[in-house]
Amino acid sequence: MKEISCKLLVIGAGPGGYVCAIRAGQLGVDTVIVETGKPGGTCLNVGCIPSKALIHAAEEFEKVAHLAGGKDPLGIKVAAPTLDLAQTVAWKDGIVSRLNSGVAGLLKKAKVKTVQGWATFRDGKTVEVETEIGTQVIRAETVVIATGSAPVELPFLPFGGPVISSTEALALAEVPKKLAVVGGGYIGLELGMAFARMGAKVAIVEALPRVLAQYDAELTRPVLKRLGELGVEVMTGAKAKGLSTKGDALLVETVDGKSTKIAADKILVTVGRKPLTEGWGLEQIDLDRAGKFIRIDDQCRTSMRGIYAIGDVTGEPMLAHRAMAQGEMVGEIVAGHKRSWDKRAIPAICFTDPELVTAGLSPEDAKALAGEVKIGQFPFAANGRAMTKQGEDGFVRVVARADNHLVLGIQAVGQGVSELATAFGLALEMGTRLEDIAGTIHAHPTQGEGFQEAALKALGHALHV
């Protein structure tokens, strides 16, 4: 097979990799991208997009099931619904397929050459790609590693049979009657709540003292309330120990040291993700590591000249939009632009019911950094739009320095608050002060008004609470 030479080689076509390749291609850089699977990576194929499709289906099913109960205050009455999960998954797969084609089309439009296969480093400038028709050698002036991450597997609960990762959970043909979720982080809660809304009996096992431990307790309180309403059993301070002999239950050690069993048709393990750094021949180039991740600087440069790394393989936060921002930046750097990583905030969203959004510093972190702070919190129970959507649970919270009112962090919990993440991120990137947010006219009636009201509250003169 003929050897390929290029200016830029991107390994991995996930959100970071394909954005990097597209941007470089737009700027006239001769670019090749290598991907062993479909374009879009974990996020598009078995992560962000398919999970949100499943969560939406669960939400719609629960709405209809609630209406069928005959107690809905809106006066809508329907017959008892049923759910064909196989059809739901087929609909989800259709969305993923359209987006796969879209990414492939964008790469082609940017004149990026795509090579399908598994890449292995020979040295810092050369890789071999095992394709369906043989070994392809690619030489490049610059290489970007964007290999992503994979679910962590527990040695005493290996994937297979009833034990599944998020990937298999998103492809189930039917809703399990009983589902045990090991890990109470955002992935476990998102999927666990979705299956509970579809009718599964769900139990969540978390080793830490509380679920969603990365968020403060006040922010997660509405989610915990909703878990109770859905009948989800939450076991904190509990450790999964393995499968029962018959394989029909999860063995658990409770907080008081006792052993118990949780009957389960499926056991979903969501205890985190690990960077994909093995199998690529990275030992041939000996890059510096930051723990299990590849160490990078503020331009995503690794310890070896001409090699960059972006996305999950470089550490937390392991978020698609972080990878995309890094990819765009590196694409421009390779094209000769002056760029560096200088982000004030990277918003994070947990698509539970209700949703959680955080951007910038929590109240505790803000106090540790700035000393005295002002905090404004506005409840959705006082927001007209939230009430008309039956989404009164939750609030918006703004944290700012007490001396100059510079906004340091913004958080929200509530129905549909994921759509406020853009406003939160923009406010922090622009270096806004409380007066900027309070003085911006927010459209009425919207949940976004809660953002303005929270800033007004921090200034001491909220109008609607």
Please state, in angstroms and rounded to a whole number, the distance separating the CA atoms of residues 376 and 397. Answer: 6
pLDDT for 335: 98
Does 259 map to a domain? yes
Please state, in angstroms and rounded to a whole number, the distance separating the CA atoms of residues 233 and 114. Answer: 47
Does 415 map to a domain? yes
pLDDT for 204: 98
pLDDT for 2: 79
Question: What are the average pLDDT values for consecutive 10-residue runs of the chain, which has 465 residues?
Answer: 92 98 98 96 95 97 88 83 95 97 97 97 95 95 98 96 96 97 97 98 97 96 97 97 94 95 97 95 92 97 97 97 98 97 93 98 96 97 95 97 98 97 97 98 97 98 93
| Cross-strand partners of 293 | 290
pLDDT for 344: 87
Q: Residue 280: give its domain's CATH number.
A: 3.50.50.60
**Residue 292 sits in which domain range?**
4-46+89-150+274-334
The structure's pTM equals: 0.95
Minimal CA–CA distance to 88: which of 39, 43, 55? 55
| Known catalytic membership, residue 444 | yes
Query: pLDDT per residue over 396-431, tens digit each?
Result: 999 999 999 999 999 999 999 999 999 999 999 999
pLDDT for 70: 77
Q: Tell me: do 11 and 133 sit in the same domain.
A: yes
pLDDT for 294: 97
Q: Please, what is the Cα angle at 190 between 391 and 251, to 5 degrees?
A: 130
Domain boundary among 287, 304, 334: 334
207: helix, coil or strand?
coil
Domain boundary among 249, 271, 293: 271
Does 196 map to a domain? yes
pLDDT for 66: 86
Q: Residue 416: give its domain's CATH number.
A: 3.30.390.30
Beta strand extents in 69-198 (DSSP E only): 113-116, 118-123, 126-131, 134-145, 149-151, 163-164, 178-182
Domain boundary among 233, 251, 271: 271
Q: Tell me: do 250 and 320 sit in the same domain.
A: no
pLDDT for 74: 84
Does 392 map to a domain? yes
Please state, in angstroms and rounded to a whole number, the distance separating the CA atoms of residues 181 and 327. Answer: 33
Does 53 map to a domain? no
pLDDT for 293: 97
pLDDT for 387: 96
Active-site choice (56, 321, 444, 464)? 444
Query: CB–CB of 395/442 below 8 Å?
Result: no
Residue corresponding to tokens 């393989």: 313
